[in-house]
Amino acid sequence: MHDNQPRTSTQDTLPEVITRYLNAHRAHGADTAITAFTGRATVIDDGNTYEGTEAIAGWLDRSATEFTYTIRLTDARQTDATHYIATHHLEGNFPGGTIDLRYRFTLHGGLIERLVIEP
């Protein structure tokens, strides 16, 4: 395998900080999830950008209560030393009822610096 080729992972092989965020987000644990982000982190979700831990904490609180859904990891890949993609299948009471979302993580200093969530 060449160094520039994506590496397939499972949640067990994702960095601890990503696993911590994913598990906390799934359990609606915003206080734990926010500890995975740098102070200058950015999250882009559903066309909105949240910059800094205060804005991200607000987004986490809203996303935990807006809809009821199940989430299942279907794929995880490391694309380079600091970038990971975790694909999830969601089913719930949101418009459409099901969706597959890619969570694109950029790490810096052992924490999440950027997270982009998109179909």
Domain span holding position 112? 7-118
How many structural domains are present in the chain?
1
Claim: this prediction has a pTM higher than 0.85? yes
CB 26 within 8 A of CB 10: no
Q: Predicted confidence band at 27 (pLDDT cuts at 50, 70, 90)?
A: confident
pLDDT at 69: 87
Residue 81's contacts (CB-CB under 8 Å, 6 or more residues apart) are none
User: Residue 33 domain-assigned?
Assistant: yes
User: Residue 57 domain-assigned?
Assistant: yes
CATH number at residue 107: 3.10.450.50
Q: Predicted confidence band at 1 (pLDDT cuts at 50, 70, 90)?
A: very low
pLDDT mean over 71-82: 94
User: Residue 1 domain-assigned?
Assistant: no
User: Residue 2 domain-assigned?
Assistant: no
Average pLDDT over the chain, rounded to an integer: 89
User: Residue 74 domain-assigned?
Assistant: yes
pLDDT at 60: 93
